[in-house]
């Protein structure tokens, strides 16, 4: 339980960003004319903020099924990388634990784990830590989306609380930049994301991620690891 | 107005597709052998993805602060990144960025 608690606590400083994002998501559900239960259903079964925000907007415009689903899944394709990164820790885990970890994969949880890897010394500790981050994420996310649905985007506009979302991602990514190579990859990802921003169906995100991983591979390919 | 059938179909396909993506490698864990080099590669995933999630939205955001060319959100993001590098405190970085944005947009 010690590592579950550590994982849970590692997400707490990010709460302001999650609440702000949740409030935006909740009010987007309400503005699209979805009922409370429809919003809760989508937020529970899809459980992926960025793709939900994009697809709710597309559904509001009555876009074709193929466009909505393809856009959402392309945004979520990045989870493929997180899934690959989580798999070594879950070798001996039960199917239920594997399902829970897969369902709850988020940018925040994986980045929090990556930034705290010095606190983790076994697969079991990693799984507990991860589930702790996931529990905190799920509680705060669901609560803030419900609040956003009921009260609208409750933060005063002049405070620009939505800006806490990118700021929390800055605070997430910086501790993971442990070497010059990591920093080079982050810089490359920033530049590529700008260059590929206009790609259709939000494919710029996944292309940027894949090109950045390819660069990371180039940078480490000659290094020996035991 | 979003029809019930259209909504359910979209959400069902998104949910199934997303859990398949998330579960893909996790379902195979134990059957795959992952080399130390690939594990090292995994440490680059946040650096590869997270900037791409936030940089374009903030760079192309049309702000209101003329002397910053309307790019206040993007510029404050960079400053916050530098602050975060030296002060590893998430809450401080978020509060700092929000306060700085409030200050430049209110003056």
DSSP A27-61: HHHHHTT--HHHHHHHHHHT--HHHHHHHHHHHHT
Indicate yes or no: CB of A107 within 8 angstroms of CB of B49.
yes
Task: Report the alpha-carbon distance of residue A51 to residue A68 in Å, rounded.
Answer: 10
What would the mean pLDDT of A185-193 be, rounded to a whole number? 97
Question: Could you tell me if A35 lies within 8 Å of chain B, comparing CB atoms?
Answer: no
Please name the residue of chain A whose CA is at the shortest distance from the CA of residue B1. Answer: A33
pLDDT exceeds 70 at position B24: yes
Mean pLDDT of the A1-22 span: 90
The pLDDT of residue B62 is 93
Mean pLDDT for the stretch of residues B51-77 = 94
For chain A, the average pLDDT equals 91
- Beta strands per DSSP E along A96-139: none
CB contact under 8 A, A167 and B73: no
| CA neighbor of B24 nearest in space, from A68, A84, A12 | A84
pLDDT in tens, A27-46: 899 989 999 999 999 999 99
pLDDT at A225: 66
Of the partner residues B2, B12, B51, the one whose CB lies closest to the CB of residue A59: B2
pLDDT of residue A224: 74
ipTM reported for the complex, 2 dp: 0.90
Closest by alpha carbon to B44, among A143, A44, A208, A102? A208
CA distance A163 to chain B (A): 7
Minimal C-alpha gap between A202 and chain B (Å): 11
Evaluate if residue A164 carries a pLDDT over 80: yes
* pLDDT band, very low/low/confident/very high, at A159 (cuts 50, 70, 90): confident
Structural tokens at position B21:
């993506």
Locus of tokens 């379902």? B27
Of A47, A85, A170, the CB nearest to B77: A170
* Least confident among A181-190, A214-223, B25-34, B48-57: B25-34
Question: pLDDT grade, residue A144 (50/70/90)?
Answer: very high
Q: Please give the model's pTM, rounded to 2 decimal places.
A: 0.85
Shortest Cα distance, chain A CAs vs residue B90, angstroms: 5
How high is the pLDDT of residue A226?
Answer: 59
* pLDDT, greater one: A135 or B29: A135
Interchain pair A85, B48: CB under 8 A: no
- The span from the CA of B68 to the CA of B50, in Å, is 24
Cβ B47–A98 below 8 Å, yes or no? Answer: no
Say whether A78 sits in a helix, a strand or coil: coil
* Between residues B47 and B30, the one the model is more confident about: B47
Cβ-Cβ contacts under 8 Å, B47 against chain A: 173, 176-177, 182-183, 185-186, 189, 212, 216
Report pLDDT for B45: 92
């Amino acid at each position: 339980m010690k590592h579950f608690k550590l994982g849970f606590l590692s997400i707490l400083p990010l709460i302001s960003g999650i609440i702000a994002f949740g409030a935006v998501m909740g009010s987007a559900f309400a503005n699209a004319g979805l009922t409370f239960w429809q919003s809760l259903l989508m937020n529970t079964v899809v459980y992926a903020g960025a793709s939900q925000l994009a697809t709710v907007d597309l559904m509001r415009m009555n876009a074709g099924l193929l466009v909505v689903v393809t856009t959402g899944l392309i945004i979520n394709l990045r989870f493929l990388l997180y899934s690959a990164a989580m798999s070594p820790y879950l070798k001996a885990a039960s199917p239920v634990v594997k399902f829970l970890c897969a369902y709850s994969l988020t940018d925040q949880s994986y980045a929090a784990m990556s930034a705290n890897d010095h606190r983790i010394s076994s697969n079991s500790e990693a799984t507990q830590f991860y589930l702790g981050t996931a529990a905190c994420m799920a509680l705060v996310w669901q609560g803030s989306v419900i609040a956003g649905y009921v009260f609208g985007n409750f933060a005063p506009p002049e405070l620009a609380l939505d800006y806490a979302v990118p700021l929390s991602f800055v605070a997430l990514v910086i501790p993971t930049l442990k070497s010059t190579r990591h920093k080079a990859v982050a810089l490359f990802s920033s530049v590529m994301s700008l260059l590929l921003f206009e790609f259709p169906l939000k494919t710029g995100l996944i292309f940027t991620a894949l090109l950045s991983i390819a660069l990371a591979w180039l940078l480490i390919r000659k290094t020996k690891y035991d | 107005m979003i029809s019930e059938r259209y909504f359910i179909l979209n959400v069902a396909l998104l949910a199934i597709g997303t859990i398949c993506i998330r579960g893909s490698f996790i379902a195979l864990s134990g059957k795959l052998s992952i080399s130390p080099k690939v594990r090292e590669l995994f440490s680059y995933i946040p650096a590869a993805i997270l900037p791409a999630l936030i940089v374009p939205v903030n760079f192309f955001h049309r702000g209101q602060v003329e002397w910053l060319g309307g790019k206040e959100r993007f510029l404050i993001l960079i400053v916050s990144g530098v602050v975060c590098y030296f002060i590893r405190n998430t809450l401080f970085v978020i509060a700092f960025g929000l306060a700085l944005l409030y200050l430049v947009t209110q003056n």
